[in-house]
Structure 1
Amino acid sequence: MRQKKNFLDPPKILVLGFASIILLGTICLTLPAATTNGHGLPFLNAMFTATSATCVTGLVVVDTGTTFTLFGQLVILFMIQVGGLGFMTFATLFAFLLGKKISLKERILLQESLNNISMEGIVRLARRILIFTAVIELAGAVLLSIRFSFDMPLGKAIYYGIFHAISNFNNAGFDLMGEFHSLTSYVDDPTVTLTISSLIIIGGIGFIVMNELYEYRISKRLSLHTKIVLVTSSLLVVVGTIGIFFLEYSNGLTLKPLSFSGKILGALFQSVTARTAGANTLNIGDLTQSSLLLIILLMFVGASPGSTGGGIKTTTFTTLFGAVWSQIRGKEDVIFYRKRIEYETIYKALTVTFSGLFLVMLMTLILTISEHGQDFLTIVFEVTSAFATVGLSMGLTPELSPIGKGLIIFTMFAGRVGPLTIAYAVTMRRNPDAFRYPKGKIMIG
């Protein structure tokens, strides 16, 4: 007897889960209590903000610090935390608190949500993720609160410290500084710059890597995945920092007025935040076109699997780079640290990358029509930022038409849940073909 197929498989549940959180957040933000004018946000703007928060993007159509009341800001903060950890991890927290056992179905969903290879020890990993998150966000909040206390009343400084620690650890980039200024007033401040950069980097390497680093004191070994994540992430930050430093060194609107140490901090922060965080200490609209292109490339690569960030992921980028390098050298296998990468993994990397490129190009094409008159590079930048759930903006988002807002909402949602769904689809067990067609030859290059 043929077994009935389960309609709600893990990808569908994850998509519906994110959509439900967005819908709930949208309703909350339309309430009069959510905004300072007492009217609530219009539905489309509320949906845009809720999607941006849940998908930990950071693109905004209204200024967070001046538009929302404490209630509205807390709604946004809740969506950021749930969206960053994944709603299944958050649901597991409540299960722990209530003393409930985690069922097999919930374990499968956790595995899919965390993008983990194996289901073994998945509940222990989820418990550690919650602990890691609490400790790291608390540490960041303390450091930021102390620094902000020199600029504002202590109560406000503590609240700002907590908000910005949670926002940046989850790679969301929402801020309360007002007037769309983000963190530009702290461009050469080492405490704010280095604390938030650290939060972004830690949140972007992935919980699996965090767990392995935690266990390293006992195991004394790191997996190939963790090695690739750490090396690739470090290289991208260094390359991005050097690139922005030299490209903006003589730009009077960005780095030129700063001291040498201020220039380094400014370049470093923009390199780190391009890896899907969204906060900025330099005005993005004032950057040179060369820097903007470099940031677009960094945004597209994004963070690492199982993290709070987006993009095609560092491991995908490294796998494709390794495949190209092997072809150039005339080698058949892709080798990292004396380990051979399977062809199936390379095909997955190609699928994720091509899907991302296709989505970015399609949304860019449509937006050039709906947002007629806007600069092409600005549109590409905004779309890439939305797809990679970064949140950096050249100022286009608040000026988008209703159609444009809808397209960016879709892009943010697809950028957050799309890679999860694609990853699941390409890892599902396939039935072997009953036969194989004869080989055909085509010319490449």
Structure 2
Amino acid sequence: MVQQLEKRLFSLRPPQALLLSFIGLSLAGALLLKSPWASHTGTSWSQALFTAVSAATVTGLAVVDTGTHFTLFGQWVLLFLMQFGGLGLMTFGVFIIYLAQDRLSMQHRATLSEALNEPGHGNLHSVLRAMFGFTIVMEAAGTVLLSFQWVPELGWSKGIYYSFFHAVSAFNNAGFSLRADSLVAYAGSPLVNSVISLLFISGGIGFGVIADVTGKRRFRDYALHTKAMLVGTLCLNLVAMLVVLALEYGNPATLGALPEPGARLWAAWFQGVAPRTAGFNSVDMAAMLPATAFFIMGLMFIGGGSGSTASGIKLSTFIVMLVATRAFLRSEERPVLFGRSVDPGLILKAMSIGMISLFCVVTGTFLLTITEKAPFIDIAFEAVSAFGTVGLSRGLTASLTLPGQAVIMVLMLIGRVGPLTLAFTLANRDRARIQYPVGKLTIG
């Protein structure tokens, strides 16, 4: 019996193993959060499971207040779930094998490649070293810098703990905060805004990019993916900040409530870059204009970088779809990006990811309109936030019904493991032995 179970486990495809790992991590976290030591007033099974799934998928949506509901033990459980979920449970297991044997089997390499979304196998060791080293350095540096804000306010022990919790949550793009208002009280703080945004941007850009940047000095020597991610991240973040600033500058409930122009700029920057990856907010999301909420939904759908702690369809996928559309409009045979042609198979994969993701979001939104009694913009915002594992909400999360919580949990899991990974898990990937003649369809 045990041998048959082991045989089945080792025969799992990498996408299946990755999905089951996140489900197992969530269930283990739910058991710990349900324990009497994890909360002050007790946690229901639905609250424990929802919070565990949200932490394991580094989303940040919460049905209870993290800072007041959970004890120190419960908060540490959330920290471990965020850390394991952010870096990938399979990454931890393979890294242990790597330390013990100094080599990886082909199956372990395939599993790790799926977790990191790295197409090749030759650079996995370097990605692992860069990933763990960079994680330790960034979280430690973030803790030290944030302590300058919270130690004077809260004292040494509580201030350092606050700093460490938010540094881990930010770098892993989880968005959990020990404050009920997230970071609204620090909307105009240069220190908190710059450190937190640096942490979730660096964690969400992709570890393959980090390894490439640290190993090369000149931009022209970077890999095509690295160039696309660096330029795309810079452009999208600047555009997001300017759009949020323009739409919300006169809103008395958001940016308009801040007295100084500098504070409004910091809040616009933070709320412009956070939706693509992290669930922190420095202004009231429910008070934002519908146009701003709709724009933020687009940012959440795009997400961060491949092989990072962020989710969404990924920025690289969005870039491939853009250059493919541009090539079609220009009647070019192949899309070109930074002097390199884009593989048609990659375009097909990008279009598939976008279509599957859109289907998941639309289906989730449709189901939530049945289970929840709330404005449509709030429901759609919640669904996109869950799929992108962002964690921003317009106030709907705490009032979700049990069926609504189930829909959001499924969206969070799908968003974390990736829609294409889920499709590969459910579909038969064997190649067809029969080749059919080419047919023509009229489209457009």
TM class, shorter-length? over 0.9
**Partner residue, 2:108:** 106
Return the alpha-carbon distance in structure 2 between the equivalents of residues 233 and 392 of structure 1: 20
After TM superposition, the score normalised by the length of structure 2 is 0.94
**Partner residue, 1:290:** 291
**Partner residue, 1:441:** 441
Structure 2 unaligned spans of 5+? 1-6
1:302 has 2:303 as partner: yes
Return the alpha-carbon distance in structure 2 between the equivalents of residues 224 and 16 of structure 1: 32
Q: Match of 1:256, SS?
A: helix
Return the offset for 1:88: 1.8
Return the offset for 1:124: 3.2
**Partner residue, 2:196:** 196
**Partner residue, 1:318:** 319
Amino acid at match of 1:9: R
Return the offset for 1:91: 2.1
Return the alpha-carbon distance in structure 2 between the equivalents of residues 428 and 226 of structure 1: 32
Counterpart contact for 1:352–1:423, Cα < 8 Å? no
1:345 has 2:346 as partner: yes
Q: Deviations over 1:388-432 (max 9, x none)?
A: 000000010000011101110111011111336158679998647
Return the alpha-carbon distance in structure 2 between the equivalents of residues 81 and 171 of structure 1: 10
Amino acid at match of 1:17: S
Return the alpha-carbon distance in structure 2 between the equivalents of residues 147 and 159 of structure 1: 12
Alpha-carbon spacing, 1:8–1:425, altered in 2? closer, same or farther (3 Å): closer
1:8 has 2:12 as partner: yes
Amino acid at match of 2:244: I
Query: Percentage identity across aligned positions?
Result: 40
Return the alpha-carbon distance in structure 2 between the equivalents of residues 267 and 20 of structure 1: 38
**Partner residue, 1:364:** 365
**Partner residue, 2:82:** 80
> What's the Cα RMSD here?
2.1
Counterpart contact for 1:334–1:340, Cα < 8 Å? yes
Between 123-132 and 378-387, the greater mean CA deviation after superposition: 123-132
Counterpart contact for 1:352–1:422, Cα < 8 Å? no
Q: Match of 1:32, SS?
A: coil
Counterpart contact for 2:126–2:211, Cα < 8 Å? no
Equivalenced residue count is 436
Return the offset for 1:329: 1.8
Alpha-carbon spacing, 1:346–1:412, altered in 2? closer, same or farther (3 Å): same
Return the alpha-carbon distance in structure 1 between the equivalents of residues 431 and 106 of structure 2: 24
**Partner residue, 1:406:** 406
**Partner residue, 1:140:** 142
Return the alpha-carbon distance in structure 1 between the equivalents of residues 323 and 426 of structure 2: 20
Amino acid at match of 2:346: T
Counterpart contact for 1:140–1:165, Cα < 8 Å? yes
After TM superposition, the score normalised by the length of structure 1 is 0.93
Return the offset for 1:434: 4.1
**Partner residue, 2:51:** 49
Structure 1 unaligned spans of 5+? none
Return the alpha-carbon distance in structure 1 between the equivalents of residues 225 and 357 of structure 2: 22
1:20 has 2:44 as partner: no
Alpha-carbon spacing, 1:427–1:240, altered in 2? closer, same or farther (3 Å): farther
Return the offset for 1:130: 0.7
Alpha-carbon spacing, 1:367–1:428, altered in 2? closer, same or farther (3 Å): closer
Q: Deviations over 1:349-369 (max 9, x none)?
A: 111001111011111111111
Return the offset for 1:121: 3.0
1:391 has 2:391 as partner: yes
Q: Deviations over 1:127-152 (max 9, x none)?
A: 22111100011111110012111211
Amino acid at match of 1:366: L
